[in-house]
Structure formats: structure tokens, C-alpha cells
Amino acid sequence: MDAVFVPDLALAAAIALAGGVIKGFAGFGGGIFMMPLLTVLYGPVEAVAMVLLLEVPTTFQLLPRAIRETNWTMSLPISAGLLLTIPLGSLVLVSADPDWIRRGMGTVVILFSIVMYAGWRYPGPFNRPASFVTGLLAGFAAGAAAMGGTITGLYMLSASDDSARIRGSNLLFAAIIIAFLLALLAWFEAILAATVWRSVLLAPVVIAGAWAGTHFFDRSNERLFRHVALGVIAASGLTALVK
């Protein structure tokens, strides 16, 4: 327990609060924001476990509303793809240095974000095969580089759908990714007792942040939501390049 109560915990709390706000507003991106910062404090393996544990309360806090708002036509095939390739990406994470994968994905994400800011949208089709392929790519990205939400976010933002359905769908994907990755980390015995205690202490902070982010979302408009969501995606790509 002595390893838990250290000055770094106050900084971790500030990181968790900001991550919760991002997650509550956009439906994704909180973990992407927290990962590199917590890596500096605790190292990469513990940071991955802590981010996933901190994502649990916020995701399930927001999930009931998300289920009502989810675009199920697109989300079901994406979810199926996620379940198939998350283990493959995790195998890369635990058996090889994933830096080259992370940087490659970061480059692609930044380029797509810039193009979408300029007004381009994926022209389609937004059918089951396209959604399934998106899920396959996102599952691998989630397992190998913790960037699954970035892939699904880009795909959903290209669709002619409203912000509530995009946010709800992304929260559903986050729940699937978190549950699967936590199970895999537990299997590999990569979750330390100190990590669990830190996450328990920080849970109220990240929940408060998610509540605030939801409050901001309810008072935003479609244009603001898309700009913030694309900003989060672009930031995640930049983070993948430099961390």
C-alpha cells in the first residue's frame, strides 16, 4: 500500500479527471489521452492496466444511455470484428515491440483526421461487410496499440449519423474492448495489486469527469461534437507518434 500513496497520485488524479471529461463528451478517447501520461508515471504495462480499470466505471456509467442510442445496424458487425482480432493484436503487444505498429497507425490516423477536417468523408458503403472490416482493423489496433476507438471513431464520424448515435456506438465498442483486454491481462497476470488500489482511489475522480463531459455533450451541437471528436482522434495519432 505504501507504493500507492505517493505524490504521483495527485498528478494521476488530474489526468484521470481530464480523461473522464473526454470520455463523457465524445464516447471515446479518454484512455487514449491517459495512456502516454500514465506511462510516464508508472511504466507502459501498468499504464495499460490502469487505463482499462479506470475506463470500467465510466464506460458502464454511460452504457445504459449508450445502448438506447447505439446504431445497431453498424455496431453489430463492427463488434463481431472486434472480438475476432483483439486477441491477435494482444499477441503482438505481449510478444513483440509494438512501437512500429503504433507509429504507423498514428501516421494514418493523423492523415485521415486532416483530410476529414478539410471536409472529406468516407463515401461508403456503410454496409455490414464494411462495418465488419472496420471492426477487424479496430480490434487489432486495440490489442496492439490501444487505438481501437480511433479507428471506429473515424468510421462512425464519416457516416451520415447524428452525434448521439455515434457517441452511443463508440461507448458500446469501448465496453467490448475493455472487457476483452482486461480478461487477457488477467490471464497474463499483468495486473498488480498496487494498480488495482490506485484505480479504486481514482475511480470517483474519473466518474466525476465523465459526468461533466456528458453535461457538456448535452449542451453541444453536431458541429462542435464533430470538431472535438476529430480533435481527440488527431491528438491520439500524434501521441502514438511521439510517445
- The domains of the chain are located at 8-242
Q: Decide if pLDDT at 107 tops 70.
A: yes
C-alpha cell at position 94: 505481449
**Alpha-carbon span 113 to 239, nearest angstrom:** 14
| Cell, residue 53 | 480499470
Q: Which of 37-41, 109-113, 130-134 is least confident?
A: 109-113
182 with 56: CB under 8 angstroms? yes
Rounded to whole angstroms, the Cα distance separating 204 from 16 reads 10
Share of the chain above pLDDT 90, in %: 26
Given a cut of 60, whether residue 3 has pLDDT beyond it is no
Question: With bands split at pLDDT 50, 70 and 90, how would you rate the model's confidence at 199?
Answer: very high
